[in-house]
Amino acid sequence: MANQLTDQDVLKLAKLSRLIIKSEELEMFKKDINEVLDFVSMLDEVEVEEVKPTNQVTGLQNVTRADETIDYHYSVDLFLNASKFDNGYLVVPKIIDEN
């Protein structure tokens, strides 16, 4: 059996998870979390000395290609009619609200 979590541990986990736990729910959450930790602690009992590390079992490989710079041969003259143009770049209004 793993070390049991205290009320303070559960409240700290809730705060880190940005969850609001009512006082009447605290015991239920503590019991549930401790049961999960007890279940996971059973993995410590599994013998894995002879087991080779596995990071992938399907044999599939990621398809990648080399990064290449593509020159589209556009002329800066294309952007002369743009409302704002600065140092070779189009200037566009900010559309992401950070609030």
Residue 18 is assigned to a structural domain of this protein: yes
Handedness of CA 22, 27, 28, 34 (dihedral sign): positive
The secondary structure of residue 24, as a DSSP letter, is G
The secondary structure of residue 4, as a DSSP letter, is P
Over the stretch 85-94, which tens digit does the pLDDT of each residue have? 777 778 888 8
Query: Into how many domains does the chain fold?
Result: 1
Residue 57 is assigned to a structural domain of this protein: no
For residues 41, 46, 47, 52, the Cα torsion angle rounded to the nearest 10 degrees is -90
pTM for the structure as a whole: 0.48
Report the alpha-carbon distance of residue 11 to residue 26 in Å, rounded. Answer: 8
Residue 55 is assigned to a structural domain of this protein: no
Over the stretch 40-60, which tens digit does the pLDDT of each residue have? 998 888 898 888 888 888 888
Domain hosting 25: range is 7-45
